[in-house]
Structure 1
Amino acid sequence: MDPLTQGVLGASLSQSVSKKQHLVIAGLFGLLAGMAPDLDVLIRSESDPLLFLEFHRQFTHSLFFIPIGSFLCAVFLHQLIGKRQGLTFKQSWLYSALGYGTHALLDACTSYGTQLLWPFTNERFAWNTISAIDPAYTLPILILLAFATLKRNSWFARFAILWAITYPTIGMIQRDRTIEAGWQLANERQHVPMRLEAKPSFANILVWKLIYETENHYHIDAVRVGRVVKLYPGESISKLDVSRDLPWLAANSQQTKDIERFRHFSNGYIAQDPADDLRIIDVRYSIVPNQLNALWSIKLSSSAAVDVHVGYETHRDSSPASRQAFLDMLFGVEQLAQKQSSVD
């Protein structure tokens, strides 16, 4: 989730249990500690572009790391501001722990993947209930947090926490409706999916990206889940087969190893870019949810030495056509949609 949302949610939980005289400082502790786990983005390597993918949302986001991470935050913040405001270290640690503890659970509500149970497993948990950026989620929390701070009333913070729980719950219902529509769509196509997932599109829980996997392909569609369900048929792509698609690539090369690292990060959803044979894309994410314009990829080199890493690339499809296609889906433009009242 974006840093602002992480911060205001952490501040809200800290304020919700705070006494009136400590409400502002509790919110500040929760705000800063709520953003702290994302300091893992500083773990980078110039020679290994994928290193940050391995460590982002890893140990700093583990539920088992909350006592350690919040303690480190408390040590720093107590010395910096806690003592001056009359807090005991126990209070500083409590407010830090509440803020820090919200971070990983909120990230797990998105579709990126969070290693909640590290070091016991490196499984990436993604509950796919809200987008990584969603103003409809963030703004009510921010407004209620502002009222709590200005009015010195923790009840506003408690209402913020109630909204923070309610919105992903609605997202879960929307996700499940999308999945139901996806199974019906696959059945109409006479496909038997090996797995099928629904992910919220950018900044909303109304339009969803539907991905299902068959033996040799990934199929990408969009679903608008409003009063009625509307399907936007999309594209399909062959699953990456390294020996078939990249026969020149040495099995013991670092690039081959990096493909497998990228495969793990992408939960297996990788394919060869139709526009570039040397680019491997993560098919899970795109601005227009029924298209394959990936937001990130790795880049291979046929002339690279055996110990050279792949490149990592990000892509921002912000063309007017893409924006319009997305907005058409968001507002349910009829000529682009195939209404499916039977799955409502």
Structure 2
Amino acid sequence: MDSLTQIVLGAAVGEAVLGKKVGNKAMLYGAIAGTIPDLDVYIGKLFDTVTALEIHRGFTHSVLFSIVFGWIFGWLISLYEKNAFTKEWSKLMFWGFITHSLLDAHTTWGTQLFWPFDVRLAFKNIFVIDPLYTLPFLVFLLLAMFQPKASKKRRKYNNLGLIISSSYMLLTIIFKGIAYSRFTQALNEQNISYSEIETKPTPLNSVLWAANIETEDSYLIGYYSFFDTKPIEFYLYPKNHHLLEKYKEEPSVKRLINLTNNWYTISKKNDAIYLNDLRFGLLSVAPNYQQFAFSFKIFENNHKIIIEEVPRDKKHAKQLLKDLWTRIRGN
């Protein structure tokens, strides 16, 4: 999830664990705990593109990290914060770390909760930024912050934030199930043969859902809004995996394909090869749009295979918001 959401979640968890004893300091250290796992993004900048992608949501998002570094950070805090025991600070940091990772596991990227095992959990029921999850959570946290640490209202506000956010998370799982049912029904009605399907919410909401559908030679992408009144349309994107023939045995390319869980297409522009990661969708929900959110240029330089992520233009974000608002309201 985005940084603000993780800070809010960490602060609320810190308050739930130790707020009654140390007041707003519990929120402060909880917020810090909610931020630390994502420092792997900065670590990744020291490495090549593929390694950076592998590092993200890896070790720092694992149960092992939460246990070991929860105790280490708890011990460090207890050296200068004497209003709680090491065990209590460690408990706060552990829950701040682990809830960060559990929340991330509900998004699309994939979280190695059980690192070092290469199992990336991705339930894909909430987008990485969802105002309906974050804003109510933030409001109740702020209300709690301005109450005395022993106040019942403080506990009530914080608990309400946790309950409402968790309830919304549960709703998104239900929404995902409904969307999945609508997509599979549409595929059957249109006599489309497919081998696999995955569904996920589109950016910033849980009303409009996207589906990736694998067929023999191509992928189909479709959208379904709970306000739709017309049949779902599916748009075809050829796999073009044969275009990668020259690089398919390259270790870095194999690792990149592994990260995509084999949900990728290949495109060619001006003699350059691009691998497009389907898991994160396109930069628009407009029909037959071609620019993917995550695309990687693969080329050879001085007999070395180079992989570079294609930068995203800010103008795409503005267009996406416009297209989203139009499509959310129904087809």
* TM-score, normalisation: structure 2: 0.89
> Residues 174 and 225 of structure 1 are in contact (CA less than 8 Å); yes or no, is this contact kept in structure 2?
no
Using the alignment, how far apart are the partners of 2:142 and 2:72 within structure 1? 27
The aligned residue for residue 200 of structure 1 is: 201
**Mapping of 1:244-323 within 5 angstroms?**
244-247=242-245, 249=246, 252=249, 256-273=250-267, 277-284=272-279, 285-289=281-285, 291-301=289-299, 303-316=300-313, 318-319=315-316, 321-323=319-321
The more displaced of 9-18 and 231-240 is 231-240
Paired AA for residue 277 in structure 2:
D
**Cα deviation digits, residues 178-231 of structure 1 (max 9, x gap):** 1111112221332222111111111100011111111121100111024x6665
> Residues 179 and 224 of structure 2 are in contact (CA less than 8 Å); yes or no, is this contact kept in structure 1?
yes
Using the alignment, how far apart are the partners of 1:52 and 1:69 within structure 2? 21
The higher-RCO structure (CA 8 Å, 6+ apart) is: 1
Q: SS at 2:258's partner residue?
A: helix
> What's the Cα RMSD here?
2.2
Return the offset for 1:20.
2.8
Paired AA for residue 110 in structure 1:
T
Gaps of 5+ in 1: 338-344
Q: SS at 1:102's partner residue?
A: helix
Percent identity between the two aligned chains:
27
Using the alignment, how far apart are the partners of 1:195 and 1:220 within structure 2? 12
**Cα deviation digits, residues 34-90 of structure 1 (max 9, x gap):** 1111111122356622211001001111123211132233244334x523xx22212
1:111 aligns with 2:108: yes
> Residues 298 and 305 of structure 2 are in contact (CA less than 8 Å); yes or no, is this contact kept in structure 1?
no
The aligned residue for residue 78 of structure 2 is: 78
Using the alignment, how far apart are the partners of 1:262 and 1:231 within structure 2? 35
Using the alignment, how far apart are the partners of 2:290 and 2:181 within structure 1? 22
1:144 aligns with 2:143: no
**Mapping of 1:1-344 within 5 angstroms?**
1-44=1-44, 48-79=48-79, 82-83=81-82, 86-119=83-116, 121-152=117-148, 153-226=154-227, 233-241=233-241, 244-247=242-245, 249=246, 252=249, 256-273=250-267, 277-284=272-279, 285-289=281-285, 291-301=289-299, 303-316=300-313, 318-319=315-316, 321-332=319-330, 337=331
Using the alignment, how far apart are the partners of 2:225 and 2:248 within structure 1? 42
Gaps of 5+ in 2: 149-153
CA 314–78 in structure 1, closer or farther in 2 if over 3 Å, else same: farther
* TM-score, normalisation: structure 1: 0.86
Using the alignment, how far apart are the partners of 1:261 and 1:220 within structure 2? 24
**Cα deviation digits, residues 148-192 of structure 1 (max 9, x gap):** 111131221111111221111110111111111111222133222
Paired AA for residue 77 in structure 2:
L
Paired AA for residue 327 in structure 1:
W
Paired AA for residue 156 in structure 1:
Y
